[in-house]
């Protein structure tokens, strides 16, 4: 799901069709509702789904964003192939670093950035590029796993590697779960807000979402934790591009 060109070993990892390139529908729905409330319906908007993966997040968002244009963007050819079956607009190949995204500055009204930032080698450059393509006041809808999720706090106290963290691209070691997804960076609610604000955005709202990988007996607790975003499994952040200050 990352849009940054990684070293060859990571590029090969993400081009592997067995690597997951979508997230749970509950997170996508919550994020789409936040974006729909921010955009409204009066003026058609251009929304870039950066790191669109297989197009699931954009497909979930589309019915809630009638009249708005959603363009999927990813560097993975395998992801783009799968996204074409779900998106109304032809997805675009692009990277957040190197040559940058194939869009003019201030050409987008909103960016969906779903479960991407945790995969990036250089998240600072990524947010700089997102800020470039957003118009002043444009919306950033970012989601990422929460390092300080309620169960991770207990796991660390017990000496267990937190969920979402990974020490290898080959296998899971020292924590629950079996699926390797290539997470390089993890954020707490406080760290995410501070990082986004330092990158030239005004943080509007932080919300929580459940994680589809939580065992069924614990899912009610996971949904309950969403009412306290710092404890939630997934962090949903809405920010707006800070207008350039006049000198």
pLDDT of residue 88: 86
- φ, ψ (nearest 5 deg) of residue 152: -65, -35
Mean pLDDT score, 67-87: 92
Q: Please state, rounded to an integer, the average pLDDT across all residues of the chain.
A: 90
Render 65-112 in DSSP notation, one character per residue.
STT-EEEEEES-HHHHHHHTTT-SSPPEE--SSTT--SS-TT-EEEEE
- Does residue 41 carry a pLDDT above 50? yes
| CA–CA gap between residue 21 and residue 55 (Å, rounded) | 9
Tell me the C-alpha to C-alpha distance, in Å, between residue 109 and each of 26, 76, 121, 135: 24, 24, 26, 6
pLDDT tens sequence across 203-235: 999 999 999 889 999 999 999 999 999 999 999
Judged by average pLDDT, the poorest of 2-11, 173-182, 188-197 is 2-11
Burial (CB count <10 Å: 0-12, 13-18, 19+), residue 161: middle
Q: CA–CA separation, 52 vs 62, rounded Å?
A: 13
CA neighbours closer than 13 Å in the CB half-sphere of residue 97: 13
Q: Which of 153, 238, 163 is nearest to 193 (CA)?
A: 238
Q: Can you tell me the distance from the alpha carbon of 41 to that of 175, in angstroms, rounded to the nearest whole number?
A: 44
Which of these ranges, 57-61, 103-107, 151-155, has the smallest mean pLDDT? 57-61
- Pairwise CA distance, residues 99 & 107, whole Å: 17
Question: Looking at residues 115-138, what average pLDDT do you find?
Answer: 96
pLDDT for the residue 246: 54
Give pLDDT tens digits for 102-123.
Answer: 999 999 999 999 999 999 999 9
Q: CB count, 10 Å around CB of 64?
A: 17
| Token pair belonging to 242 | 């800070």
Confidence of residue 40 (pLDDT cuts 50, 70, 90): confident
**Helices 189-198 and 123-133, interaxial angle, to 10°?**
50
């Amino acid at each position: 799901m990352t849009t940054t060109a990684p070293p060859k070993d990571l590029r090969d990892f993400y081009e592997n069709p067995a690597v997951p390139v979508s997230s749970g529908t509950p997170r996508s729905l919550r994020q789409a509702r936040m974006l729909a409330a921010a955009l409204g319906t009066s003026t058609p908007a251009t929304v870039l789904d950066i790191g669109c993966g297989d197009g699931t997040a954009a497909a979930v968002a589309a019915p809630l964003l009638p009249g708005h244009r959603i363009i999927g963007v990813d560097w993975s050819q395998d992801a783009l192939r799968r996204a074409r079956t779900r998106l109304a607009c032809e997805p675009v190949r692009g990277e957040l670093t190197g040559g940058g995204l194939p869009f003019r500055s201030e050409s987008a009204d909103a960016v969906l950035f779903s479960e991407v930032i945790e995969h990036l080698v250089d998240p600072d450059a990524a947010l700089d590029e997102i800020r470039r393509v957003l118009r002043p006041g444009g919306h950033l809808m970012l989601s990422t796993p929460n390092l300080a999720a309620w169960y991770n706090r207990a796991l660390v106290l017990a000496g267990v590697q937190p969920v979402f963290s990974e020490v290898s691209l080959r296998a899971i070691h020292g924590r629950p779960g079996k699926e390797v997804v290539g997470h390089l960076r993890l954020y707490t609610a406080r760290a995410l807000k501070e990082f986004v604000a330092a990158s030239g955005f005004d943080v509007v709202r932080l919300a929580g979402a459940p994680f589809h990988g939580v065992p069924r007996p614990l899912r009610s607790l996971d949904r309950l934790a969403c009412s306290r975003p710092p404890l939630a499994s997934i962090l949903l952040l809405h920010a707006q591009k800070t207008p350039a200050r006049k000198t």
